[in-house]
Amino acid sequence: MLVDESVFHLRRRHEMPRWERLGHPLDTLTVLTPILLARFLPASEPWTIVFLALAVFSCVFVTKDEPVHAVHCTPGEHWLHALLFMVHPLLFAALWILWKQGQVGWISLQVAVTFGFLCWQTVYWNGPWAPQRKMFPLHQKGAPR
């Protein structure tokens, strides 16, 4: 995610459409929710079922933008997204193991890092100091050149 955010998104910072500036923090929120559940609730039913449902939802939700990315992103960014889609369920599998082992410290660290990333995405891409956006993104079909 750091490569996607610090390389590809910053490269496209003047053409980031609204759907992406809002959608990416929502993606991060779907990751944070099961992490918070694992941090504050016991690794037993019904919470394990809720955790699995939230993890599956997150894995599907993060793919929502790919049809739009087909218009706006470079092949390198598409490739990175494919890698991230493979890592996404592995993150939840690792979190599941930590949760079952009672590793509250590691889960707390993940909460802090993910929450910080969510705040940064929300504030940087949507605050009043956010980069000025062009009316038509460069990669948009039919956009004036």
Question: What pTM was computed for the model?
Answer: 0.83
Provide the token pair at 97.
Answer: 């193991």
DSSP character at residue 41? S
Write down the pLDDT at residue 131.
63
pLDDT for the residue numbered 22 = 86
Which tens digits make up the pLDDT trace of 63-115?
A: 998 887 787 788 888 888 889 999 999 999 999 999 999 999 999 999 999 99
The residue with greater pLDDT, 55 or 127, is 55
**pLDDT band, very low/low/confident/very high, at 133 (cuts 50, 70, 90):** low
Please list, in sequence order, all residues whose beta carbon lies within 8 angstroms of the beta carbon of residue 55, skipping any fewer than 6 positions away. 34, 89, 92, 96
Give the list of residues 6+ apart from residue 43 with CB closer than 8 angstroms, or none. 99, 100, 102
- Cα 23 to Cα 131: distance, rounded to the nearest angstrom: 17
